[in-house]
Structure 1
């Protein structure tokens, strides 16, 4: 009996220890980024290990706010990123929910082929599609426009969103919808009042994925935008890298500012995200 309790206790301690190690490994780069943003230049380039700035300095953050990047305010780049990310999430969520409902609820020709195609699209590196998508965007007259980035990001995030939401829609008993129809509700009312609330956690989880993916996207934002005033934050960070030197303090300060909106967005929806991921893992 004691041996069994000892093994359970040892296993629990081992799992907790492994979790702490993984957490530290994941959070250390973020901590180092924030710490470097508050370090003076002499502490950034020193060979001594200095995990905590002493004393903290606001020079880099103040310089990023006051001087901006490449002649434009840092708020302009943050606004561009926010516009692209938010519009992508909204449009992608609508199309993903409708497509997932169609795939989960209806049996149509080539349905299985469509699902397999979604997986194949996910396997293709985004950079491999860069030239063809650049040509398409230019022919549609959306080159150097934020709407072009929105269209591309919706296309890049939609396959995963549809595949994940399909699990949530399939987990909702069809009898609930049939009972709603018997009570006289229309298909739209059933969709909005019965199905949508039940798949909302999954929609939040996929929206977070779309938001983070779009917010951090670099290659397409650099290729499809020519006007520096329309650059997103990931592209704006490249201006801190020069031919002869790199402004590490500025990079870390701007990266810290870029991380704050993602953290705020995650904190606002973390409960629904966790419940959505767990539900998606056990249902289907």
Structure 2
């Protein structure tokens, strides 16, 4: 077997493995959407429906007309946007400071970021609840956003640090030699190169804040302040059978904003991931 044949065989195996991974990743999403378009009676049968052969929109109507979807959507959007914008702002400044400047306790700060990421967030639920209760921030968008910012900030700082390290400081120095001030060199040269990293990091923060359940369940106890994951939980009740078609329809509605956001920024995210993988 010559080298060309081996390369061709290896390429075929890699493509087959990629297809298997793709199918395993996409199938749960397809099954969710497929179930959402089926009536509840078809979902409960022993015969699986691989496609919506009994197509109906009743589950989407039930989820939409529930009365809690739009308020929960507004709360989730407000919390997520506030979390992403604030976390990116502080993480951007922190990553610049850690990567571009040498100061006392710099290594300690970097190690602290890693250690904080290792602590399970659920271990701090009680203390977080008591702090927010003392500050009168329970059942508020600001209170939940503050918790989410604290959760996503260590990962965001660490990720952005890799992107900043991947942009040589010599570029800024060359721009300053050409007549730019330090601020002009940063905003005209460095920042455009960091923009894909901000986008790719922001989308991870967006997904984490959008899908978070435990802290939202503990902090947002009033029905009018619940987020979408808590609203979705309302369809699962112990006193009656769960209508899984409605649950899947609600899950599909909940996934639409994430998909739209991803489609908008996917180009920037891809280039950001590739540039961040070059040097960390």
1:100 maps onto 2:128 in alignment: no
Question: TM-score of the superposition, structure 1-length normalised?
Answer: 0.94
- The equivalent residue for 2:246 is 250
CA contact (8 A) 2:63 2:69 kept: yes
User: Deviations for 1:225-253, whole angstroms, at most 9, x for unmatched residues?
Assistant: 12211111001111101113212111100
Instruction: Report the CA distance between 1:280 and its aligned residue.
Output: 1.0
Secondary structure of the corresponding residue to residue 102 of structure 1: helix
- The equivalent residue for 2:264 is 268
Q: Which whole-Å CA distance do the structure 1 matches of 2:126 and 2:104 have between them?
A: 32
Q: Which whole-Å CA distance do the structure 2 matches of 1:96 and 1:240 have between them?
A: 37
1:127 maps onto 2:122 in alignment: yes
Q: Which whole-Å CA distance do the structure 1 matches of 2:80 and 2:18 have between them?
A: 31
Secondary structure of the corresponding residue to residue 240 of structure 1: coil
Instruction: Report the CA distance between 1:182 and its aligned residue.
Output: 4.0
Q: Which whole-Å CA distance do the structure 2 matches of 1:276 and 1:283 have between them?
A: 12
Within 5 Å, give how 1:123-272 maps onto structure 2.
Answer: 123-243=118-238, 244-272=240-268
Question: TM-score of the superposition, structure 2-length normalised?
Answer: 0.95
- The aligned length equals 279
Q: Which whole-Å CA distance do the structure 2 matches of 1:41 and 1:220 have between them?
A: 31
User: Deviations for 1:57-87, whole angstroms, at most 9, x for unmatched residues?
Assistant: 1010011112x1xxx3411111111111111
Secondary structure of the corresponding residue to residue 246 of structure 1: coil
CA contact (8 A) 2:68 2:231 kept: no
Q: Which whole-Å CA distance do the structure 1 matches of 2:138 and 2:175 have between them?
A: 46
Task: Extract unaligned runs of 5+ from structure 1.
Answer: none
Instruction: Report the CA distance between 1:141 and its aligned residue.
Output: 2.0
Instruction: Report the CA distance between 1:193 and its aligned residue.
Output: 2.2
CA root-mean-square deviation: 1.4
CA contact (8 A) 1:43 1:53 kept: no
Q: Which whole-Å CA distance do the structure 2 matches of 1:48 and 1:199 have between them?
A: 51
